[in-house]
Chain A
């Protein structure tokens, strides 16, 4: 058997994701210090062996906060992509398969929604739903529906006229069966690559919303929110902003390198 050779991009992407996602997953259950415990004596403490990323303006351990913050960010991103892709797939499947007036009307709305940057759409949704981690997940999920609906719809339009679908129809398969048993597996590749891109966009959008102060609310930690707090200490403690920001960059870079390889 030939040994598979991994490309540089693949290795770098995996390393970056391992460095960021393993602490995030561990951060769901355990952190070195309580991410919300404040200690005045450690206020803005520098980098040391006990606190490898130092402490923030409330004396909280930054590494613990980065761990739990990336965990929240990743959970929100997963929820967002799940919500957006499932509802988007169902909508796209029905509109693409059946067509007609409903398809026309929904796609017109979809076009407008797609022209809006997802962050702005999420801003609108947050102003309707309020802020907090579940609201952000819901808001971003709804904001992501149009892009998935559009992608799945065009796949369904392409596939529904292929011979194997016609023969399934002749064999008496129901519309629902054709849509989800016959067509969906063939739309999988396209869907998968957009899920990867969607994951990145979700992380960016969540960080953006939290940075603006209308995303995840304290006491929950979030990378975006930490970055906006770190910004006011940029003069005295640039390491706070740099370490938090680089975590976001590493997650996004890791994912985009991996998705490039998977394509």
Chain B
């Protein structure tokens, strides 16, 4: 329990540091948000009024603290380009990206784990070699190209879905989930390769250990040793990887959303970067940081559950 509390505290501190760094970095870049909002025709007086209205005439420390106080209540200010609150803009799109990530995560585990286990089970056979070669190629395909390939094969040639035919969940829930399958596959495929590789090498590493020999000498069948003992021990590094993969999947989702024309978080992030709409950019970065940090916290705790020796020194 003390271990968990300590981890939570350190996460909170980290989040504060991130927010401070991000806020200061975006406050210091050249460019006047009031000017870009009003256009170059604005007079000095209206500019000053706008700066006052946006709170830009206050000292940096005051601006940060008031932003932080608002942010803790879930209010990230108003977008510069659209007169909407940042929170409502994000909350609108978040479920789409979260669905994409969740689907990808499931696909990654469903495809990658059995193949990794199977390849290691059949180590040295032709099947193992074939899986390894395909995996090596798969690992070199970036998510946006796998997205294009999937569009080409399943969309254009096999006509299993309409490229760019995204429907919102409110209009057609079934169509929405069906459309999300192929984008998720594109995000998941490169990660499948990594989880396959990781599981394969950690399983093969376990094979040489003493406890495996002991288990054999006690008369266990090879299936019992493989699935009963080795798989459990080899799954520990895989759990850590799941946490890291989630962070990578956010990046993958942002790109793949563009390939499949999905109006998710990635699209707002990109348009806000191009429009220099900093409140939105900062809010999305903070949201991603929070997802990443909380996932790592969960992984640490899960790790402790699997292996109680962790963190006891």
The answer to whether B270 touches A227 (Cβ under 8 A) is no
Taking the nearest CB of chain A, how far is it from the CB of B25, in angstroms? 6
Within 8 A of A (CB), among B140-167: 140-142, 144-145, 148-149, 151-152, 156, 163
The answer to whether B288 touches A128 (Cβ under 8 A) is no
Taken together as a complex, chains A and B put the C-alpha atoms of A115 and B114 apart, in Å, by 27
> Which chain B positions have C-beta within 8 A of A117?
247-248, 250-251
Within 8 A of A (CB), among B116-146: 136-137, 139-142, 144-145
> Which chain B positions have C-beta within 8 A of A224?
144
Taken together as a complex, chains A and B put the C-alpha atoms of A245 and B255 apart, in Å, by 15
> Which chain A positions have C-beta within 8 A of B100?
none
The answer to whether A213 touches B293 (Cβ under 8 A) is no
Q: Is B302 an interface residue (CB 8 A)?
A: no
Which of the 9-residue segments A31-39, A185-193, A247-255 touches chain B?
A247-255
> Which chain B positions have C-beta within 8 A of A238?
152, 156
Within 8 A of B (CB), among A193-215: 204, 207-208, 211-214
Q: Is B17 an interface residue (CB 8 A)?
A: yes
Q: Is A149 an interface residue (CB 8 A)?
A: no
The answer to whether A227 touches B14 (Cβ under 8 A) is no
Taken together as a complex, chains A and B put the C-alpha atoms of A117 and B145 apart, in Å, by 18
> In chain B, what residue has the closest Cβ to A119?
B251
Taken together as a complex, chains A and B put the C-alpha atoms of A111 and B281 apart, in Å, by 21
CB-CB under 8 A for A231 and B156, given A116-B288, A214-B270, A249-B141: no
The answer to whether B255 touches A211 (Cβ under 8 A) is yes
> Which chain B positions have C-beta within 8 A of A109?
17, 21
> In chain B, what residue has the closest Cβ to A245?
B145
CB-CB under 8 A for A214 and B250, given A128-B26, A128-B29, A238-B156: no
Q: Is B217 an interface residue (CB 8 A)?
A: no
- Most chain B C-beta atoms within 10 Å of own C-beta, residue among A124, A227, A228, A257: A124
Taken together as a complex, chains A and B put the C-alpha atoms of A249 and B143 apart, in Å, by 11
> In chain B, what residue has the closest Cβ to A214?
B273
Q: Is B269 an interface residue (CB 8 A)?
A: yes
Q: Is A157 an interface residue (CB 8 A)?
A: no
Taking the nearest CB of chain A, how far is it from the CB of B193, in angstroms? 11
> In chain A, what residue has the closest Cβ to B247?
A117
The answer to whether B144 touches A208 (Cβ under 8 A) is yes
> Which chain B positions have C-beta within 8 A of A115?
247, 292-293, 296
The answer to whether B269 touches A253 (Cβ under 8 A) is no
> In chain B, what residue has the closest Cβ to A252?
B140
**Contact mask B248-272 → A, CB, 8 Å, 1/0?**
1011001100110000000001100
Taken together as a complex, chains A and B put the C-alpha atoms of A252 and B152 apart, in Å, by 22
Taken together as a complex, chains A and B put the C-alpha atoms of A57 and B156 apart, in Å, by 19
> Which chain B positions have C-beta within 8 A of A214?
270, 273-274
Q: Is B289 an interface residue (CB 8 A)?
A: yes
Taken together as a complex, chains A and B put the C-alpha atoms of A108 and B255 apart, in Å, by 28
> Which chain B positions have C-beta within 8 A of A211?
144, 255, 258
The answer to whether A108 touches B14 (Cβ under 8 A) is yes
> Which chain B positions have C-beta within 8 A of A123?
254, 269, 273
Q: Is A126 an interface residue (CB 8 A)?
A: yes
Range, interface on chain A = 35 or more
Within 8 A of B (CB), among A106-146: 108-109, 111-112, 115-117, 119-120, 123-124, 126-128
Taken together as a complex, chains A and B put the C-alpha atoms of A256 and B21 apart, in Å, by 34
Taken together as a complex, chains A and B put the C-alpha atoms of A228 and B147 apart, in Å, by 11
Taken together as a complex, chains A and B put the C-alpha atoms of A181 and B22 apart, in Å, by 37
> In chain B, what residue has the closest Cβ to A230?
B148
Q: Is A18 an interface residue (CB 8 A)?
A: no
Taking the nearest CB of chain B, how far is it from the CB of A108, in angstroms? 7
> In chain A, what residue has the closest Cβ to B18?
A112
> In chain A, what residue has the closest Cβ to B249?
A117
Taken together as a complex, chains A and B put the C-alpha atoms of A115 and B290 apart, in Å, by 11
Q: Is A86 an interface residue (CB 8 A)?
A: no
In-complex Cβ contact of B17 among A108, A124, A128, A227 (8 A): A108
The answer to whether B163 touches A234 (Cβ under 8 A) is yes
> In chain A, what residue has the closest Cβ to B26?
A128
- B-side residues, CB < 8 A to A, are 13-14, 17-18, 21-22, 25-26, 29, 136-137, 139-142, 144-145, 148-149, 151-152, 156, 163, 247-248, 250-251, 254-255, 258-259, 269-270, 273-274, 276, 281, 285, 288-289, 292-293, 296
Further 6 A-B residue pairs, CB within 8 A, beyond A115-B296, A117-B248, A119-B255: A123-B269, A214-B270, A234-B152, A241-B148, A245-B148, A257-B136
14 contacts between A and B (CB under 8 A): A108-B13, A109-B21, A112-B289, A124-B22, A128-B26, A208-B142, A208-B255, A213-B274, A214-B270, A227-B144, A227-B148, A238-B156, A241-B148, A245-B145
6 interchain residue pairs of minimum CB distance:
A253-B140, A117-B251, A252-B140, A245-B145, A127-B273, A119-B251
